[in-house]
Structures are given as C-alpha cells and as structure tokens.
Amino acid sequence: MTLNASRPFDAGRRLVLALCAALACSAFSAFTLAAPASAETSSCALYASPAGNNANPGSATAPLRTISALLARLSAGQTGCLASGQTFNEGVNIHSGESHGAEGAPVTLTSVDPSTPALINGRVVTHAGADWLTFTHLNFTFSEYLLPSITIGSTHTTWTYDDVTAPTTICFNLINSSTWGVAVNTVIEHDRIHGCGSQETFLCNQNIPLCETPPNDGFFIHAIYIGGGRNTIIRNDYLYNNADRAVQMRSGAEGVIVEHNIMDADGEGVIFGDGATGATVQWNIITGSHSKCGELSGCYDYGASEYNAAGSNLFAHNDVYGNQCANPVPACWPNAGNIEKMSHVTVEKNVEVAPLYVDAGAGNYALQASSPVLGYGPDAVQPEATSGSGTVTEVPSPTPVTESSGHTKHGGSKKGAARVASSVRRRSAPRRTSHHRRRRHRGRHHHHHHKRALSHRH
C-alpha cells in the first residue's frame, strides 16, 4: 500500500469556477452533525497518530503512524481509530488485498473521539477489490488541481458522519473503469460536503485555444460526481456552497438513490446526465443554485436538469426553490423554471416554497418549526398523516407547483426573482450571453470532462 496516492484517475480538465469564499468558509460553523453519545470509540482494535511509528504494535499507547499501515493490519470486522483532532498529511491508495473487509464485517476507519474528528489531508482512492470499507466521523480535505479528492473504484464502501471539502476539485468521484474499478453499492450518508471548488477563479467563457488549456478550461467541479456509481445511495447529507452540481450522474450511474438531502447555494442541484438510468431523487430540499459559470457562459443553474439521460428516472416530492433558472433570464429560455424540461425523468409532486432554514447564512440548515416542508431534507419522516380509520395518507403538498412541458415554472414573469426568500442565499447575476452559444458550450465541456475523469494520469 502506497502512502502517496499515485493518481490513477484524472478528474478532467482543470475545472475553473468562482464561488464566494466567504460563503464557503462559513459553512456549518453553527450547525454540526451529532456525534454518538459516547465520547470515545470503544471498539478500536488498532490506533494511529501522526506522532506514532509504523514499527509500533498499534495500541493506544504505542500507535502506528500512517493510515495505510493501520488499514493493512486491520482484519475483517475490526475498527481502526485515528488520533482525534490530529491531521494526517498523507494520500491513501487502497488496492485489492491491502484491506480485509468482508460481507457483514467491514473494516472501519474512524476517530478515537467522534466529536473531535481526525483530518485526512490528502487524496483517498479505493481500487477494485478494496471492498467493504467504512469511513466515519472523519474530516477530509484535498487541495490539488486536476485530480478528484475521494475516488471510489470498489464495492460496498460507506461514508458516514464525515466532513468533506476540496477547495480546488471534485469532492467525491465514483468511477466506472475496466482498469481501475467500478463504484458499486456506495453509501454516502449524514455527511457534510461543501466548498468543492470554492477557491477556483473563473477565467474563460470563449471557445478559443487559450480557454482550452488548463487552468482556464472549464467549470465542472461537483460535490458528488457519479461516473460509475451503480446502486449508490446519497441520503441525509448537506451539500452546499459547491462550485457546480451537488450531484452529477453520468453514463454508468444506475439505480442511484438521492433522498432526504439539503442542497443549497451550489452551482446546480441534481443533473440526470448522459446514460443515467433508474435514478430516484426524492424528499430533498434544493435551493439557491447559482454559479459563476451560469452568469458568464454555458451552465444551467436549475434545481434539477437532464442531459441525455436514458431509461426511466424519477424526480418527486422535492422542494425546489429560488434556483437561478427560476428567473426568466436568457440563459434558461425557453425552459425557465426551477426544474428543466426533462424527457427521461418523471417529474411529479414537487413543491416550490421557501423552506425556512433557521440561519442558512451561518450554515444552520435546520428548518424552522413553521417550515412548510418539515417532512423533507435530512433525517425527516416523510410527510404522512393517519386518517380516523387508521389509513395512512399523504399530506397535501404545501404549495402545488405548475408544471409545464415536464418542468416546474417559477411564476413565468419577471417577478420570479422576488419570490426568493431571505432564507435562501443568492449571488449577483450579470447579463448572460446567447442561449444557443451556451447550449453548445455545455455539451462540449460535458464530453471532455467525462472522458478525462476516468483516464489515467501518468
């Protein structure tokens, strides 16, 4: 097992996009995911600390030094614990045979004290065969260009109660590669995924050679990029202040479930990309999508959109509100709305209403008691009521939406912008270029980004 990731997957062209740094930095300062009641993980089989030594036995008093050494020594069903509050400056490549999880007995990596997570400052890659791994109560960051941060090419990996950020690149990359592996049965739950691409600077919006050369060429830095991702579950997460899509599904994304998440102030919410099939996106709150790319060039800042999806997909029971394309601006014509017209996605029973976050500006995405969508978002029971006869029935939508040609309208007038509540953060929107130019631009960058996201960087 190598200590420094050898970059098997190229995240694509240098993905350049500006976000307000202040928004990214303020994320979740006042709202954190709950840690278990126990102050210390009681099931630690082995320990690691930056002050340890890989020649040590790995006990609490004589810990190992690196994550790689820790994972190599853990047996199926065991838990390895990282020193809480400490930073591990290492990339971790996990190949087949270098981890020993098994069905029903995964290897778990966590922090000694879950309330004070350890920080992994480096790229984490699971290769084909590095299966049955759980990463929980950890912080992740990665600041290199061109490569995605957490890259998953194995089966049955679980990421829970983690804080993930990557100021210059994609945060999660689920791949589909005959060489490097396929992400299957991935679970991303109760995570905070934010600031992915937040330090990028948008430089180009023209189809000229200069803009085809890194670092000037592109905009697509997502929170979760599903290029493979069969049977992926994304649930009960907070995805906010990311440069582009909160969730991007591409060819190979099959049977993805995205439910009970909050996606706020991202470049875009969810996109059913080329080849995506069998996806279910439901009970999410998607607000305030607005990107620099959308302001100046070829991006569509919808709460949900489609780009050559395949098969059947479902987008239902979501609150989609205050996204940039809800305003009738040229970038989104003729399909202005919170939800783009989609031909391979069934769109039904969504609502369009301010969710009433407690304090989104401070990163507190809890819903106020008076919120009309209390059954939506993380850790929420689906809104149901029991009738007098004991029959469970669905509660009526808080605000029925008007659907036209398969997409949700946002009032259909220039007054649409006024409907954005103060609870949803917005950015300024300069004038945009022509609709036709943006559509060509969008398809071109999607093609290159997908091609390079799976390639090997030597």
**pLDDT attached to residue 243:** 82
Give Cα 225 distance to the centre of its chain: 7
pLDDT, residue 437, reads 26
| Same structural domain, 86 and 31 | no
> What residues contact 308, with CB distance under 8 A and at least 6 apart?
273, 274, 275
Predicted TM-score (pTM) of this structure: 0.78
The predicted structure's pLDDT at residue 250:
87
| 157-171, 343-357, 372-386, 407-421: segment of lowest average pLDDT | 407-421
- Smallest Cα–Cα separation from 230: which of 260, 275, 196, 191? 275
Say whether 450 sits in a helix, a strand or coil.
Answer: helix
Listed in sequence order, the residues at least 6 apart from 205 whose beta carbon sits closer than 8 Å to its beta carbon are 211, 293, 296, 297, 298, 433, 441
pLDDT of residue 292: 61
70 and 175 together in one domain: no
* DSSP notation for 178-219: TTTEE-BS-EEES-EEE-TTTT------S-SGGGGSTTSS--
Q: Is the pLDDT of residue 252 over 70?
A: yes
Regarding whether 251 and 152 lie in a shared domain, the answer is yes
The answer on pLDDT for 350 being more than 80 is yes
Q: How confident is the model at residue 192 (pLDDT cuts 50, 70, 90)?
A: very high
Residues 191 and 138 sit within 8 Å (Cβ to Cβ): no
* Secondary structure element (H or E) that encloses residue 21, with its range: helix 21-26
Of 116, 146, 177, the last residue of a domain is 116
* Element (DSSP H or E) covering residue 436: helix 435-453
Report how many domains make up the chain: 2
| DSSP line for 259-299 | ES-EEESSSEEEEE-TT-BS-EEES-EEE----HHHHHSS-
Between the alpha carbon of residue 288 and those of residues 94, 264, 325, 428, the distances in Å are: 37, 6, 10, 12
Q: Which residue type does 30 have?
A: A
Phi/psi at 445 (5° precision): -70, -30
Residues 142 and 112 in one domain: no
In the prediction, which pLDDT does 14 show?
28
Rounded to an integer, the average pLDDT of 223-238 is 93
Residues 25 and 61 in one domain: no
Mean pLDDT for 177-205 is: 82
Let me know whether 362 and 389 are in one domain.
yes
Are the beta carbons of 283 and 377 closer than 8 angstroms? yes
Q: Looking at the structure, do residues 31 and 42 belong to the same domain, yes or no? A: no
Residues 185, 234, single domain; the answer is: yes
Residues 290 and 382 in one domain: yes
- Least Cα distance to 311 among 275, 257, 258, 270 occurs for 275
What does the pLDDT read at residue 333?
A: 63
* Tokens 């109560």 -> residue: 137
pLDDT of res. 134: 98
Question: Regarding beta strands 187-189 and 245-249, do their DSSP bridges make them parallel or antiparallel, or are they unpaired?
Answer: unpaired
Confidence of residue 342 (pLDDT cuts 50, 70, 90): confident
Task: Please name which of 276, 281, 279, 278 lies closest in space to residue 308, comparing C-alpha atoms.
Answer: 276
- Classify 419 as helix, strand or coil: helix
Q: Does 122 fall in a domain?
A: no
Structural domain contains residue 123: no
Whether residue 251 lies inside any domain: the answer is yes
Backbone angles phi and psi of 447, in degrees to 5: -65, -50
Q: What is the pLDDT of residue 339?
A: 86
> What is the model's pLDDT at position 445?
35
Question: For 405-423, what is the mean pLDDT?
Answer: 31
User: Is the domain of 82 the same as that of 29?
Assistant: no
Buried b (16+ CB within 10 A) or exposed e, 229-257: bbbbbbbbbbbbbbbbbbbbbbbbbbbbb
Q: What average pLDDT score do residues 371-378 get?
A: 95
- Containing domain of residue 251, as a range? 21-35+137-453
Q: Give the residue with greater pLDDT, 358 vs 22.
A: 358
How far is residue 128 from each of residues 8, 70, 299, 374, measured CA to CA in Å? 12, 19, 33, 40
Q: What is the mean pLDDT of the chain?
A: 75
Residue that is written with structure tokens 């930056």 in the block: 50
**Is there a domain that residue 16 lies in?**
no
Cβ neighbours of residue 228 under 8 Å, at least 6 residues apart?
153, 174, 175, 176, 177, 182, 183, 184, 252, 253
Q: Is residue 125 part of a domain?
A: no
Cβ neighbours, 10 Å, residue 390 = 6
Digit-coded pLDDT (tens) for 385-406: 333 333 333 444 454 443 333 3
Assess contact for 34 and 378: CB atoms under 8 A: no
Q: Which DSSP string corresponds to 112-126?
A: SSTTS-EEEES-EEE
Q: Nearest to residue 320, comparing CAs of 225, 380, 409, 388?
A: 409
Is residue 327 a part of any domain in this protein?
Answer: yes
Query: For residue 404, what pLDDT is reported?
Result: 32
Q: Is residue 348 a part of any domain in this protein?
A: yes
**Given 86, 116, 146, which residue is the final one in a domain?**
116
Mean pLDDT of 180-196: 95
Judge whether 312 and 256 are in contact, CB under 8 Å.
Answer: no
Structural domain includes residue 368: yes
Residues 249 and 269 placed together within one structural domain of the fold: yes
90 and 237 together in one domain: no
- pLDDT band, residue 48 (cuts 50/70/90): very high
Looking at residue 412, the DSSP 8-state letter turns out to be S
Tell me the per-residue pLDDT of 82-137, one tens digit each, with 9 for 90 and over.
999 999 999 999 999 999 999 999 999 999 999 999 999 999 999 999 999 999 99
- Answer with the one of 53, 85, 116 that is the final residue of a domain: 116
